[in-house]
Copies of this chain bind each other. A is one copy, B any other.
Amino acid sequence: MATGRTHRPATRSRGIPEATVARLPLYLRALTALSERSVPTVSSEELATAAGVNSAKLRKDFSYLGSYGTRGVGYDVEYLVYQISRELGLTQDWPVVIVGIGNLGAALANYGGFASRGFRVAALIDADPAMAGKPVAGIPVQHTDELEKIITDNGVSIGVIATPAGAAQQVCDRLVAAGITSILNFAPTVLSVPDGVDVRKVDLSIELQILAFHEQRKAGEEVGAPEEAAGAVPPPPVTPHRAPSGAPGAPGADSGRQGPDGDVPAVMPA
């Protein structure tokens, strides 16, 4: 049960900063679009705009990869596409398994963006026996029992977890035991993995909550009142010694914020 490493402690990765790595796919996408329109070269300014960043950042980012531009001219589109693809490891193909074929899993299986870069969906796996054999996105779903075999046989090293939260850790453990070393997790749970395994998390409800935070601020500033928008100010930290008997404060319109079962599966696998 190793303590979950998650973010890669910069193992001296020949220096490319994590923040830069996270933007390379953005540049790649913008470049691919240019390439399709047969644009031969771009300036840092143009490319930055297309990718939604500023040009200084882009140039700094590229400087970690090497000197791939031409002063006074810009960057050769095809050449850059290749260099970034190579840096990201997209010149080889990556078989991927998706575990948990509910709505979300099906959406992922159908997602064109996977196939379009080196990623290939090697298998779809679900715990529901009734799903077994049914094709999703042209690929027959296989039962969880086959998980280990599928991974070894296909040499899969990347797994996508799209199961309900309750099943995620268990699935994760099996994936890791079978040899998976990178996991993309859509279930709303913190996964524990041994050292050397990378986990990235995509969490829909967290993103919304962050938006709500800013949204609330906007609403507050609008009226001029710098603090609370509506509703009474909550009780001060009265240093409670035990759990308060009732509810903590005056939560306003809080008629049952709690969902049907706590933190909730992303999507049912059945």
Contact = CB atoms under 8 A, between A and B. Distances in A.
Interface of A: 3-4, 6, 8, 11, 13-14, 21-22, 24-26, 28-30, 32-33, 36, 38, 40-41, 49-52, 66-68, 70, 73, 76-79, 81-83, 85-94, 96, 102-104, 106-108, 110-119, 157-158, 160, 181-184, 188, 190, 196, 198, 200, 202-218, 221, 226, 230-231, 234, 237, 239-244, 247-249, 251-254, 257-268
Contact of A264 (B21, B113, B216): B113
Contacts of A208: 94, 96, 114, 117, 119, 158, 160, 184
A49 to B, nearest CB: 8
22 contacts: A6-B52, A11-B221, A28-B209, A33-B262, A70-B239, A76-B243, A76-B244, A82-B247, A87-B213, A89-B215, A107-B267, A111-B266, A113-B203, A113-B263, A113-B266, A114-B208, A118-B212, A160-B208, A182-B214, A182-B215, A198-B211, A202-B207
Contacts of A190: 26, 30, 50-52
Contact of A112 (B28, B96, B264): B264
Contacts of A4: 52
Nearest to A77: B243
Contacts of A231: 91
A112 B267 CA distance: 7
Contacts of A104: 104, 107, 111
Contacts of A91: 231, 251-254, 257
A76 B238 CA distance: 11
A263 B184 contact: no
Given A107-B267, A252-B92, A117 B257 contact: yes
B52 A113 contact: no
B237 A88 contact: no
A152 to B, nearest CB: 17
Give the most central of A119, A211, A216, A242: most B CB within 10 Å.
Answer: A211
A84 to B, nearest CB: 10
B25 A210 contact: yes
A25 B85 contact: no
Contact of A258 (B116, B210, B248): B116
Given A107-B104, A113-B264, A266-B113, A200 B204 contact: no
